[in-house]
Amino acid sequence: MKNIFETKVYYSDTDAYGVVWHGAYLRWMEKGRVDLCDQMGLDLVSLKNSDILMPVTNMNVRYKASARLDDTIIIETWIEKYNSLSITFKQVIKSKDTNKIFIEALFDVVAISEASGKLYRRLPETVVNAIEKDSVKCPVSV
């Protein structure tokens, strides 16, 4: 499963030169990951109410080119891989008009208990079931 959405680059997303500010990309990628989780039936508020938080523990963001004011960009998000402890999301941000890639990123996420703040020894069954249901093409090593 893949989450794809597009957005226009607004003035508030840019710096004084009309170039997208690096933090704006992070906001869009967060939206992509949350929306993908929602698509898979993993509502983050419901998980929190079940004592499961899913924080980012590692991010590798490659800035390849700069989007600019008034560009329309496409943000694609999918699960690249997962194992018993973590999920790796792959994300690409590109131009809608030219397909030029602006960003390639990998984000690692784990599951922790909100009550204790400790890492779950294995991804909770709810999370694994949602991934396996919707990620037939996902490399798996649970």
pLDDT for res 133:
87
Domain ranges of the chain: 2-141
Task: Write out the E strands in the chain.
Answer: 2-8, 56-63, 72-83, 86-95, 101-110, 140-141
What confidence tier does 135 reach under pLDDT thresholds 50, 70, 90?
A: low
Mean pLDDT of 9-33: 96
Residue 125 per-residue DSSP state:
H
Condensed to tens digits (0 to 9), the pLDDT of residues 50-70 reads 999 999 999 999 999 999 999
Across 83-98, b (16+ Cβ under 10 Å) vs e yields eeebbbbebbbbbeee
pLDDT for res 31:
97
Q: From 99, 90, 103, 98, select the one nearest 135 (Cα to Cα).
A: 90
Q: What is the assigned CATH class of domain 2-141? A: alpha beta
